[in-house]
Amino acid sequence: MYTTRTYKSANGLDDDRFDRSIDSCPGANRSAPIAMRFSPDELSAPHILSTRDTTYYGLFGNVTQDEADSVNNLMGPIVTIGYQCVVMSILFAFLSLAFTTTVRYLLRDGLRRRSNKWMLVALTVMYSAAAISYAFELISWRQYVRETTYTLTGLYGTSDDTLETVADAGVYILQDINILCGDLIILWRTSVVWHNSRLIRRINILVLVLMILGWIASIALLVLVGLEFLVLPLALSLAVNLWSTAIIGYKTWHRRRLLHRQIVMAGRPSAAIEGALAVLTESGVVYLALWIIYVSIVSSFFFGPVTYVQATLDRSFQWTVIVMSMLIPLYPTLLILLIARHKTPLSETLTSIDVDVGLSLPTRTDSPSNISDHVELQPTRDSTGKIGNELYDPYADITATSPVRLAPNRRP
End-to-end CA, the chain:
130
- For residue 229, what pLDDT is reported? 61
Q: Which residues sit opposite 58 in a β-bridge? A: 61
Are 102 and 330 a contacting pair, CB within 8 Å?
A: no
- For residue 391, what pLDDT is reported? 45
- The domain spans of the chain are 16-63, 69-351
Blockwise average pLDDT, block size 10, the chain, 412 residues: 40 43 46 43 42 48 68 76 89 93 84 79 92 88 79 64 74 83 86 82 87 78 63 84 88 76 52 70 85 84 66 73 88 83 45 40 43 43 46 44 48 50
Q: pTM of the prediction?
A: 0.62
Torsion-angle region of residue 27: left (phi > 0), alpha (psi -120 to 50) or beta?
A: left
Peptide bond into 77 cis (omega under 30): no
- In the chain, the amino acid numbered 382 is D
What is the rounded distance in angstroms from the CA atom of residue 67 to the CA atom of residue 72? 9
Residue 70, H or E segment: helix 65-109
What is the rounded distance in angstroms from the CA atom of residue 321 to the CA atom of residue 132? 15
- One DSSP character per residue, 150-209 reads HHHHS-S----HHHHHHHHHHHHHHHHHHHHHHHHHHHHHHHHHTTT-HHHHHHHHHHHH
- For residue 130, what pLDDT is reported? 92
User: Which residues lie closer than 8 Å to 391 by C-beta, 6 or more apart?
Assistant: 408, 409, 410, 411
How remote is the C-alpha of 39 from its chain's centroid? 64
- For residue 92, what pLDDT is reported? 94
- CATH class assigned to 69-351: mainly alpha
- For residue 58, what pLDDT is reported? 53
- For residue 132, what pLDDT is reported? 92
